Each structure stands twice: as C-alpha cells, then as structure tokens.
Amino acid sequence: MSATPETSTIACRVRNLTKTYGTGQAEVRALDDVTVDIHDGEFTAVMGPSGSGKSTLMHCLAALDRPDGGQVFVGDQELSALDDKALTRLRRDEIGFVFQSFNLVPTLSAEENLLLPLAIAGRKPDPEWYAAIVDTVGIRDRLRHKPNELSGGQQQRVAVARALVSRPQIVFADEPTGNLDSHSGAEVLDLLRRSADAGQTIVMVTHDPVAASYTDRVLFLADGRVVDELRSPTREQVLEIMTRMTA
C-alpha cells in the first residue's frame, strides 16, 4: 500500500474551492468551499450521490474546468496562474485520463491509441517503461487490433495503459468500470491498484462500493462539500456510508 499521509508528499490539492452553474433561481452550487489534499502515490476514490459535485471536483483538479473561487494546485503549480498554453502542456505531460467510454480512436490500432498522447507531444516512449506497461495491462497480443476487435475490458486496459505510458504525475479515472461487466471491471481495478502500489497517484470517481474497496482512501461528497472520509475502505463500510447519505 501507499505511504501514510504523514510521510507522503501532496500530488494535488484544492483550497476553498467553489463552483456554481446557472444564475438566479436556477443557480446550482456544485462545489461549496472544498479543501482537500491528494497524496502522492495513493489511490483515492471520490463518491457521493448524483449531483454531489464529485465529477466537478475531478474536472477542476484535472484542469478540465475552472472554479469560480479558491485554488487548485497540481504539484507546486497553481492552475489559475497558468495561461492556456501552459494548461495544455500540464494536461498533456503531467495528467493522465481514463474515461468510462474508453475514448479510443476507432481507426487506430491498440498500440497507436496507446502511444497517441506521446505522438501528439512529439515524444517517444521510454522502451523499458512501455514494455512494462504493455505487459502489466496484458495486451501485448492485442496491440495490432483495432478497438472494435477488442472486448470492453481490453479496450479499457488500453485506455489505462495510454494514461500511464507518459508517466504522468496523476491519473484521473471517471467511472472507469461503468461500462464493464464485473469480471472485466475487476481486472481494470486490479490494474489501477497495482499501478498505485508502484507509486502512481490515481483519483477515481465512482458510485460502486466494490470499486472503492480497491482504493486507499474514499472521499464522500454531498451538496458540493466533503462530508466524510474513509481510509483502507471495505465494500461494507463504503456501502454503509453511502446508504446513510442517501437515506
């Protein structure tokens, strides 16, 4: 498992984060004065009822959305101080993404999809790291296949490999098992768990207590606020808190 918060560094953090959508009577406060640290090398789940702000929090952390107030830091970089070019470079070089819908390019092979972020950046993969990633996700015999020739689980493993191959500071996963059967989902979660054990920082939005049980820490959001936290979670503990929150 990862280092304890007392001994680990901070991969990213938010301070007094606020985000609203709409105006007047239709205004929705998606984030309401949120302050959170994400520790380096930890696997963190973000959970909460629909509309709790979990996706908005992840989008702000990942520089995909700008908050209305407060600060977001990735490492030592404060995102509001970066211009569009610097933000693009940050998302490309220091952040990895895994989405529920895989987001693979259908005309490219698995290998071409995996290497696409590096190709866009004009970089070549580190050969040893690339080989280790391909073997870890178990897709070496599928590298020449197009996405429509892969199962859902294999497509998501390609997507996870794509997020890891550039050695980002942090990987964000948005419901990564949402479109998978339980067996494929377990494979992807095990892969993310092993990546965290190897030192990768991962933040995952999920509604699934089983998925959350793979993580080091669960943050629970309700009405735009962090209302609870659980370390070394079990499925039963997560389910108990989620049931209480939605009662």
User: Tokens in use for 50?
Assistant: 């629909």
Return mean pLDDT, the chain: 91
Q: Per-residue pLDDT averaged across 204-230, rounded? A: 96
- Inform me whether the pLDDT recorded for 2 exceeds 60: no
Q: pLDDT band for 100, please (50, 70, 90 cuts).
A: confident
- Domains for the chain: give ranges and CATH numbers: 10-246 (3.40.50.300)
Note the pLDDT tens digit of each residue in 153-164.
899 889 999 998
The alpha helices in the chain, defined as continuous H runs, are: 54-61, 84-93, 110-120, 127-137, 152-164, 182-197, 209-212, 235-246
Residues 75-104: b if buried by 16+ CB within 10 A, e if exposed: eebebeeeeeeebeebbbbbbbbbbbebeb
Specify burial of residue 239 (Cβ count, 10 A radius: 0-12, 13-18, 19+): middle
Note the pLDDT tens digit of each residue in 222-233.
999 999 999 999
Note the pLDDT tens digit of each residue in 45-81.
999 998 899 999 999 999 989 999 999 999 989 999 9
